[in-house]
Amino acid sequence: MALFDFSPYLSSVLSVPAKNISIHPLHGGLTNFTVRATFTPPAPFSKSRHLSSVVLKYAPPFLAADPSQPMSVRRQVVEAHALSLLSGGSIATISEVLSRFPTIRIPELIHHDTEQNVLWMTDLGDTLTLSDYLARNPPSSTIERIAAHLGEFFAEFFSATRDPSDDILPPVTHTEEIYSFLASVTKKVLEKAGNMDAERLAERVSEGLKSNGSVEPCLGMVDLWPGSILIDSRGDCGLVDWEYFGRSTASSELGMLGTVISP
């Protein structure tokens, strides 16, 4: 299988020589192919905007980490909507929360190429996923500061987006597909670990997901895991991978994150 060829794509769209473009794959995501593109000199995107770097995410019609697992490209429409909503200032309560946490950043939507299934977003710079950051054994005081800051942010975000109205939810949904995928992944992981109850536990995950959002609903990432949290050299945080964005609950969001990072 040939991966998406970002360099000639960018050269064509921006009308810049391929030699002026450098592509660096970014790791951590499971569902898409993501790269950072840098331009020397900065490339003209519009009359008023030149790009020195941009993050591009290509959504294939399957799971990037497992091509045998089909997946709708509708997930990219969901993420484009999420980035536009979160960074566009259209929801006052969300803007107020983000303004109180300037060290927690969410990429801004630059462009969504619906024909090529490529999402363009602002570059958050050199970062590590939360898992990779913790593997480097940073000082406990730094970990505590980051954890407290993230906890405060999520608490305010979930509170500010409680009982979300239908008009701010994604224009398309792939809820059933997401739930099926997450239950399938759970089953595969448990089976690989030799758990004899893998099928039964995966069914319980599916049942729990289907009831998600029925009690104290709020907006959430729905797939909040360590790969969605990026840490830079200052300890500032970035939140990425919003393709499952939608109605959720605070307990579901933090429960998933806590389960994934538990020893």
Residue 170 counted as domain residue: yes
Residue 204 counted as domain residue: yes
Average pLDDT over residues 3-11: 93
What is the per-residue pLDDT for 255?
Answer: 75
Q: Which domain holds residue 129?
A: 6-261
Residue 120 counted as domain residue: yes
What is the per-residue pLDDT for 237?
Answer: 96
Please provide residue 82's backbone torsions phi and psi, each rounded to the nearest 5 degrees.
Answer: -60, -50
**What does the alpha-carbon distance between residue 65 and residue 135 come to, in Å, rounded to a whole number?**
22
Average pLDDT over residues 52-76: 91
CB 54 within 8 A of CB 123: yes
**Strand (E) positions, the chain?**
21-26, 33-46, 49-58, 62-63, 66-70, 104-105, 109-113, 118-121, 128-129, 218-220, 229-231, 237-239, 246-248
What is the per-residue pLDDT for 209?
Answer: 67
Residue 1 counted as domain residue: no
Confidence of residue 178 (pLDDT cuts 50, 70, 90): low
Residue 32 counted as domain residue: yes
pTM, whole model, 2 decimals? Answer: 0.86
Q: Are strands 104-105 and 237-239 parallel, antiparallel or unpaired?
A: parallel
Instruction: Tell me which of 107 and 186 has the higher pLDDT.
Output: 107
Number of domains the chain is built from: 1
Average pLDDT over residues 127-151: 94
Residue 145 counted as domain residue: yes
Confidence of residue 116 (pLDDT cuts 50, 70, 90): very high
- Bridge-partner residues for 129, per DSSP? 230
Average pLDDT over residues 8-23: 96
Percent of the chain with pLDDT over 90: 58
What is the per-residue pLDDT for 97?
Answer: 95
